[in-house]
Amino acid sequence: MERVTMADVANKANVSKSTVSQYINNRFEYMSLETKKRIECAIDELNYQPNIIARSLKQKKTYTIGVIVANILHTFSTQVIRAIEDECQLKNVNVIVCNADDQPSKERKYIETLRAKQVDGLIIFPTGGNLDLYKKLEKSGYPLVFVDRSVENTDITSVLLDNEKASFLAVDHLVKKGYRNIAFLTTSIEMNITPRIERMNGFKKALQKHNLPLLEQFCAGEQIHKMQEKIHFMFSQDEVPDAIICGNDLTLLEVLKFCRKKSLIIPTDIALVSIDEVSFSEIYNPPITVVTQPSYEIGTYAAKQLLKKADDHEKTEETIIRFEPQLVERSST
């Protein structure tokens, strides 16, 4: 079958090609209801599909953005992606999502692939391992926004949580509840990933504020596959923690596995606070105290910033935008 063209639709509807083009691009200001109906019927009858590639070449936009997530297993990541997709749909912009698995090489491949596909901009949860590429994109003026993490030596707009404050909220709450041997555990800090480093630093500063000792074995970042071993080490010392702050949702899962395996009762044997909400925190027994971040608002803001950059290529005044955390007290403390 021959491809149906815009001219075919125009002839069928007895209108000009420019009128069909206005209809396809949702520009109805000067179009009568009768004309709209004729074009709609012609499109349905001819089964016309707009030539997206031709439109992209003409308008120099693909109406598509890319989102590269460092690790899609994090609940926070999926919530942010949902918000980005919702905001983009309001503007008739499509979203391509890629998962880098915290691997700089995979992230680089996705950046290069999406740029080759001429996406209008990128939202990246950066691994931090492609500084040369980030700076190249920044220098070229390519629309780019970072989420959850910032990268040193760049002025790329970064949207993230006030991570140190999140740790302060957790420590303040535990101290108020009477806990003193407070531990902090998170996933690996080898790549200097912003939220992990900042939350750990916030934990140390909060202990200092309350004149509590910082025991080396009570503060750690570890790879997930070694997490059980690290928690076992914490509990095999002469002095053991009476409360643990989990730096993210994946850490919380590992701590809960350990508690179940060792028959530790929460909060009698060990209190728990998790930074980041998880889907089961309210229905777990006992419900888990969390420090939440406004994931949906962060995703919405990031999408708006990127779409603005893609439209006018103006540099945002603020480089780092931080959102406020909130403590939600439940029965695990």
How many Cα atoms within 13 Å fall on the side-chain side of residue 209? Answer: 14
pLDDT, tens digit, 9 for 90 and up, residues 72-90: 989 999 999 999 999 999 9
**What's the pLDDT score for residue 280?**
94
CA pair distance 154, 124, nearest whole angstrom: 14
pTM of the model: 0.84
What's the mean pLDDT in 39-62? 77
**What's the pLDDT score for residue 52?**
62
**Could you tell me the residue ranges of all domains in the chain?**
6-50, 62-161+296-325, 163-292
Are both 6-50 and 62-161+296-325 of the same fold?
no
**What's the pLDDT score for residue 104?**
95
pLDDT-wise least confident of 45-49, 87-91, 99-103, 228-232: 45-49
Q: CB of 78 within 8 A of CB of 72?
A: yes
Tell me the backbone φ, ψ of residue 22, rounded to 5 degrees. Answer: -60, -40
Confidence of residue 308 (pLDDT cuts 50, 70, 90): very high
**What's the pLDDT score for residue 329?**
97
In this structure, which CATH number among 3.30.70.60, 3.30.930.10, 1.20.58.1610, 1.10.260.40 belongs to the domain 6-50?
A: 1.10.260.40
CATH 3.40.50.2300 fits domain 62-161+296-325:
yes
Is residue 153 within a helix (H) or strand (E), and if so which, with residue range?
none
In this structure, which CATH number among 3.40.50.2300, 3.10.20.30, 3.30.9.10, 3.30.420.40 belongs to the domain 163-292?
A: 3.40.50.2300
